Amino acid sequence: MTGTTSDVRVDTDARVMVISIDRPAQRNAMTKAAAERISEALVELDERSDLAVGILTGTGGSFCAGMDLKRFAAGELARVPGRGFGGLTQAPPKKPLIAAVEGWALGGGFELVLACDLVVAGHGARFGLPEAKRGLIAAGGGALRLPRRLPRAVALQALLTGEPISAATAHHHGLVNQLVEDGQALDAARDLARKIAGNAPLAVAAAKRIVVESEDWPSDELFRRQEPITEPVLASADAREGAKAFAERRTPLWTGR
């Protein structure tokens, strides 16, 4: 189902899916149509065995300026039932998703970033949750996820003042994985995605699942709860192939089994 709509472009290459919000004249403000297309693309990402990693980005030098306020005022909600704002915030994919950020990631746009697993950003990128300035609240995951990705005081300042966070500050606190020259975020995200895509798919999926699910596990049950996730990986054909390839000094041939 890859292809183009008026609001979103979806391309696949070398086991990587790139989802590009394509409304540059509106700084990629989110529409219902764009949210639905992103949701469809994420379902495709998870279902296709030939795809390993997704990248979410925006065209024209901006990531996403949040919801289209004109359309919101007219009654349109840029969300998908069960998946949330942008077709992502309530139900991220099982496979890794990288945000490639240039320019502004505001409001719901920042919430899209927070729903991704990894973030690559240009030096000029800015992240903000200005909802309080407009009588709104960051209900698409911003108030929930930001304190888990930044120190509490930093997250509260961003939420309560509505002032943006620079890419350098986000990188300093670990929200941004890689800080690159402006205009290079997508290329750097592709490089990162290829490194992930070269690894065993069962191992990658299990690692993400443990990180996501273990957030609310009791400390005395951590190892017991991870066993049903780790044991199939350790017993897999890919685990045997990885050891064999290492011994034979060759690139592994993963089968996902």
**220 and 135 inside one domain:** no
Tokens representing residue 211 in the block = 């990180």
Q: How far apart are CA 112 and CA 129, in angstroms?
A: 11
> Do 41 and 54 reside in the same domain of the chain?
yes
**pTM of this structure:** 0.95
pLDDT score at 75: 79
Q: DSSP character for 170? A: H
Catalytic pick from 40, 44, 102, 111?
Answer: 111
Give the percent of the chain with pLDDT over 90: 91
Reply yes or no on whether 163 is catalytic.
no
Mean per-residue pLDDT of the chain: 95
Q: Determine the structural domain holding residue 114 and report its residue range.
A: 3-197
Q: Do 191 and 209 sit in the same domain of this protein?
A: no
- With respect to residue 147, please indicate whether it lies within any of the assigned structural domains: yes
H or E element: which one contains 57?
Answer: strand 53-58
Catalytically annotated residue among 44, 76, 131, 248:
131
Q: Residue 3: what pLDDT?
A: 52
List beta partners, residue 50. Answer: none
| pLDDT of amino acid 174 | 97
One domain, residues 80 and 166: yes
Per-residue pLDDT of the chain (257 residues; tens, 9 = 90+): 455 557 999 999 999 999 999 999 999 999 999 999 999 999 999 999 999 999 999 999 999 999 887 887 787 788 999 999 999 999 999 999 999 999 999 999 999 999 999 999 999 999 999 999 988 899 999 999 999 999 999 999 999 999 999 999 999 999 999 999 999 999 999 999 999 999 999 999 999 999 999 999 999 999 999 999 999 999 999 999 999 999 999 999 999 99
- What is the DSSP pairing of strand 178-180 with strand 118-122? parallel
Residue 180 has a CB neighbour count (10 Å cut-off) of 21
pLDDT of residue 94: 96
Residue 58 lies in a domain: yes
Buried b or exposed e, range 169-179, using 16+ CB within 10 angstroms: bbbeeebbbbb
- Residues 155 and 218 both lie in one domain: no
> Do residue 168 and residue 87 come from a single domain?
yes
What pLDDT is stored for residue 109 in this prediction? 97
Same domain membership, residue 205 and residue 183? no
Whether 255 is in a domain gets the answer no
Q: Is residue 256 part of a domain?
A: no
Indicate if 76 belongs to the active site: no
User: Token digits for 224?
Assistant: 């017991």
Task: Judge if 95 and 157 occupy the same domain.
Answer: yes
Say what the pLDDT of residue 100 is.
98
Q: What is the pLDDT of residue 77?
A: 85
pLDDT at residue number 5: 59
Number of structural domains found in the chain: 2
Instruction: Clarify whether residues 124 and 206 are in a common domain.
Output: no
